[in-house]
């Protein structure tokens, strides 16, 4: 699947789950389960509850995603 096929949305981390999984509330009100991308894991970027993040969703399963960016604020 090409990178253009993914859907990127902004959201807020509302809960931390085991195994570096997070529950994220998107701007449209939907709640998805997301994991950290490999690049964020490699660079030791920490994610806490309340952080604004960019989530990448696949069109096949809109309930799961990948956190690809954490907002600076």
Torsion of CA 15, 52, 56, 32, to 10 degrees: 30
Q: What are the C-alpha distances in Å from 58 to residues 21, 43, 44, 67? A: 17, 24, 24, 12
Q: Is the pLDDT of residue 73 over 90?
A: no
Can you count the helices (H) and strands (E) in the chain?
A: 1, 5
- Tell me the CATH architecture of domain 3-70: Beta Barrel (2.40)
For 17-58, write each residue's pLDDT tens digit.
999 999 999 999 999 999 999 999 999 999 999 999 999 999
What does pTM read for this prediction? 0.89
């Amino acid at each position: 699947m090409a990178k253009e096929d993914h859907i990127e949305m902004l959201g807020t981390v509302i809960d931390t789950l085991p195994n570096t999984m997070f529950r994220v509330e998107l701007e449209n009100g939907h709640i998805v389960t997301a994991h950290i991308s490999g690049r964020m894991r490699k660079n030791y970027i920490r994610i806490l509850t309340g952080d604004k993040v960019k989530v990448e969703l696949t069109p096949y399963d809109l309930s799961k995603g990948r956190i690809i960016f954490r907002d600076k604020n």
